[in-house]
Amino acid sequence: MVGYAFMGAAHSQAWRTAGRFFDLPLAPDMAVLCGRDAAAAQAAATKLGWRSVETDWKQLLTRDDVQLVDICTPGNTHAEIAIAALDAGKHVLCEKPLANTVGEARAMVAAAERARARGVRSMVAFNYRRTPAVALAQRLVEQGRIGTVRHVRAVYLQDWIVDPEFPLVWRLQKDKAGSGALGDIGAHIVDMAQFVIGDRLAGVSALTETFIKERPIAGASSGLSASASEQRGAVTVDDAALFVGRFTGGALANFEATRFATGRKNALRLEVNGSAGSLAFDFERMNELEFFDGADDPDTAGFRRILVTEPTHPYAGAWWPPGHGLGYEHTFTHEIADLVRDLGAGTDPSPSFADGLQVQLVLDAVSRSAEGGSSWQSIEEVA
């Protein structure tokens, strides 16, 4: 695994846990953690359960005990590491968004296709689609339970940078993060919406905004002196992105991604309205799915609350008795379990790098639309 901060900790917990709750054809062996600071990486490896440490990710490609590279670093490093790992014959799991640019994502897809011909697999990590309630929503749409999808609403609201004195971390710098709320959390709702309804966005019209243009430079994280840490640097990404879109099947959609929704910590919500029913999911109640069946008697019709903890529900049967809910960390465990099963079966994991490229094309279209005064931007189809 390359990187060991927020995502690294989440992925590590998943690698430790997946084989203990799911019957897997292969046993994950947490061979090595990679980070630039040897002491910090060793401390993280000890805490998170990794057997050894490297300070140069290129060393992972030469080790016989490494068969898969898990990339948990900022987006500006994804392409170089993933392409090199795939060309070296290592399977790759890469955090979302796949890359910072469409060009980088295309190069990663090309590398994935070269590797696939040699039996080397790759997957992009969109963990929220592994929430049991989201997977159940996808199943219900696929079964035709809500009829023809007509309208999708997706929002992802956070507030962790509302304070103007919050420091200029890497997620607020375009050269490292690629974009702001759009790529960080907007990518999740784009993937989730497309996954649940089984269709892709064909075009968008967008607005973006950066509310706070400058922030304090964090001396500790930047290696600067105390006096230098009082300086301010430019925020070069969006704070919020709003866009409407149309799916290839004709359904309309509106998306909202912001890190300036004061009081909202991780409020992700998806609503899908169809000709015969509707579905609604809210991550703040992640073990529940709301379902309206248009065939019900009008006198008693209404949204029903489905507690998604039954053994017949996606993923839930591996865990606790019905009614005992799961948490955020379980989405990563499900991701790893699915990946390992696919590797054992020699099948292509999902979402693929091509799926990641398709999301990247949506993000790029949103950026171009916002820069062009909300102009309509078509999105090409990825094979």
CA distance linking residue 296 with residue 290, whole number of Å: 15
pLDDT given at position 219:
65
Residue 229 clears pLDDT 70, i.e. is over it? no
In this prediction the pTM is: 0.95
In a shared domain, residues 80 and 144? no
CA distance linking residue 58 with residue 245, whole number of Å: 41
In a shared domain, residues 226 and 172? yes
Of residues 53 and 220, more confidence is placed in 53
Instruction: Note whether residue 218 is domain-resident.
Output: yes
pLDDT given at position 90:
98
In a shared domain, residues 86 and 99? yes
- Three-class secondary structure assignment of the chain: CECCCHHHHHHHHHHHHHHHHCCCCCCCCCCEEECCCHHHHHHHHHHHCCCEEECCHHHHHHCCCCCEEEECCCHHHHHHHHHHHHHCCCEEEEECCCCCCHHHHHHHHHHHHHHHCCCCCEEEECHHHHCHHHHHHHHHHHCCCCCCEEEEEEEEECCCCCCCCCCCCHHHCHHHHCCCHHHHHHHHHHHHHHHHHCCCEEEEEEEEECCCCEEECCHHHHCCCCCHHHCEEECCCCCEEEEEEEECCCCEEEEEEECCCCCCCCEEEEEEEECCEEEEEEHHHCCEEEEEECCCCCCCCCCEEEECCCCCCCCHHHCCCCCCCCCHHHHHHHHHHHHHHHHHHCCCCCCCHHHHHHHHHHHHHHHHHHHCCCCCEECCCCC
Instruction: Note whether residue 81 is domain-resident.
Output: yes
Of the listed ranges 10-19, 172-181, 218-227, 322-331, the one predicted with least confidence = 218-227
pLDDT given at position 225:
44
Instruction: Note whether residue 207 is domain-resident.
Output: yes
pLDDT given at position 218:
75
Report the CATH number at residue 210: 3.30.360.10
Report the CATH number at residue 108: 3.40.50.720
Q: Which two tokens stand for residue 39?
A: 């002491």
pLDDT given at position 228:
47
Please, which pLDDT band fits residue 125 given cuts at 50, 70 and 90?
Answer: very high
Domain count, the chain: 2
Domain that holds residue 142: 130-325+350-371
Instruction: Note whether residue 376 is domain-resident.
Output: no
pLDDT given at position 100:
95
Question: Other CB atoms closer than 10 Å to residue 6's CB: what's the count?
Answer: 9
Instruction: Tell me the pLDDT tens digit for each residue of 45-92.
Output: 999 999 999 999 999 999 999 999 999 999 999 999 999 999 999 999
